[in-house]
Amino acid sequence: MTAPVSASDRPDSLPVLRLKPKANARAIRRGAPWVFENELVMDRRSRKIEPGSFAVLEDNDRQAIGVVAVNPNSKIVARMLDRNPLAVIDRDWLFDKLTKAVSMRDRLYDAPFYRLIHAEGDGLPGVVIDRFGDTAVIQPNAAWADRVIDDMASALMAATGVANVLKNASGRGRALEGLDDQNAVLIGSAPEAPLPVQMNGATYMADLTGGQKTGLFFDQRENHGFAARLAYEASVLDVFSHVGGFALAALAGGAKSAMAVDGSAPALELAAQGAAQMGKVLDTRQGDAFDVMTDLAAKGRKFDVVICDPPAFAPNKPALDKGLRAYERVARLATALVKEDGYLVLCSCSHAADVTAFTGACLRGIGRAGRRAQLLHTGYAGPDHPLLPQLAESGYLKALFFRL
């Protein structure tokens, strides 16, 4: 039987965080990645640990559970990095994590355009890395990742062969971690123009320095493809379109027409550029999505396929009720624009709204619009966004495909 390991067994002198007697050490040992303040003995020594530092997490019996990243100023005080209490978190450790992530993606995709690191799902909590050919964009949303960002960039270059590594500091989680919002070029240079990205036969233009998040949303790839099958020889309306996600996939799949609606003029311009590169025509409409859908309905417009992929209306539990009402309203307005026997696709990227709650809100909206629906398919994020089963938040994306 292996003897218990304690922090004193390490050759270095990492600080120690200890769980309270009533904390669920078993859940953490079984994979729960976060430890909150109310689960820890937060004495004077613990509170003085510098944000982004590493520590050994121990249970109430002083048995080591693993190495964690610490931020005493965050609601998530400790994030599990390695179940081996003797692990050293350095460039070699990061290289190993990144190499494993690359190996899996290279089995899944024939071109290096994908989410390379999906935070806890890939064992790097709070870290998102998207790859665009020879350029990678890191979004370090936790203090520990900011602290080791140079080693991470170097390990990323070694593991992937990319020439350019950018830092995107726009993540909402950075403010919660007490981090800045300053973007940076870590290695190489930033692209001078948007990059073309091929997915599902469509061409998307990714603005890696001025666009939303890291420049493009890879998570809807499989859902774009499913929607494109429904859109063959169809008229398509893509609301909250961003850079043309569903609309461009529909055109690539043989849609006879597509309209993209978004509040951002730069995003719609990128969508139009993507369509032009495909030799297609995309109708764009800038404006508030609710107002545009109301106006289209007032004019009697109907489409064979309507897709709505809004931002996160319920990003946290306090916003859940309000967010579900917003999703219900989206469903009601969108339903009015769908032809008889047409298709409605409704999406949510809200962590707090699980698939059951989201489906209920959508069905209420469809019902209040006086329609009946068949649920054909429920889609989730693609396999480059792996789930950590012990963390419900890692499975944030839902896409419901209805026939009305």
In a domain, 4, yes or no: no
Distance (Å, rounded) from C-alpha 29 to C-alpha 345?
39
In a domain, 2, yes or no: no
Secondary structure element (H or E) that encloses residue 21, with its range = none
Distance (Å, rounded) from C-alpha 328 to C-alpha 359?
9
Residues 271 and 122 in one domain: no
Structure confidence at residue 13 (pLDDT): 82
Structure confidence at residue 172 (pLDDT): 84
Structure confidence at residue 1 (pLDDT): 39
What average pLDDT does the structure give for the chain?
A: 94
Residues 203 and 331 in one domain: yes
Task: Return the CATH number at 72.
Answer: 2.30.130.10
Residues 296 and 363 in one domain: yes
Q: What is the pLDDT of residues 26-76, one digit of tens each?
A: 999 999 999 999 999 999 999 999 999 999 999 999 999 999 999 999 999
Residues 366 and 320 in one domain: yes
* Mean pLDDT for the stretch of residues 1-9: 59
What angle, rounded to 10 degrees, do the helices at 245-252 and 265-277 form?
10
Residues 267 and 365 in one domain: yes
Q: 169 with 179: CB under 8 angstroms?
A: yes
Structure confidence at residue 315 (pLDDT): 87
Output 133 or 393, whichever has higher pLDDT: 133
Q: Which domain holds residue 117?
A: 91-187
Using pLDDT thresholds of 50, 70 and 90, give the confidence band for residue 393.
confident
Distance (Å, rounded) from C-alpha 83 to C-alpha 80?
7
Q: What is the pLDDT of residues 263-313, one digit of tens each?
A: 999 999 999 999 999 999 999 999 999 999 999 999 999 999 999 999 999
Task: Look at the chain and report how many structural domains it folds into.
Answer: 3
Q: Which of 345, 348, 362 is nearest to 319 (CA)?
A: 348
Q: What percent of the chain has pLDDT over 70?
A: 97
In a domain, 207, yes or no: yes
Enter the pTM of the model.
Answer: 0.93
Q: What is the pLDDT of residues 166-212, one digit of tens each?
A: 999 988 889 989 999 999 999 999 999 999 999 999 999 999 988 66
Angle CA(15)–CA(24)–CA(4) in degrees, nearest 5? Answer: 55
Structure confidence at residue 12 (pLDDT): 72
Task: Return the CATH number at 273.
Answer: 3.40.50.150
Q: Is the pLDDT of residue 82 over 90?
A: yes
Residues 45 and 110 in one domain: no
Distance (Å, rounded) from C-alpha 159 to C-alpha 168?
20
In a domain, 5, yes or no: no
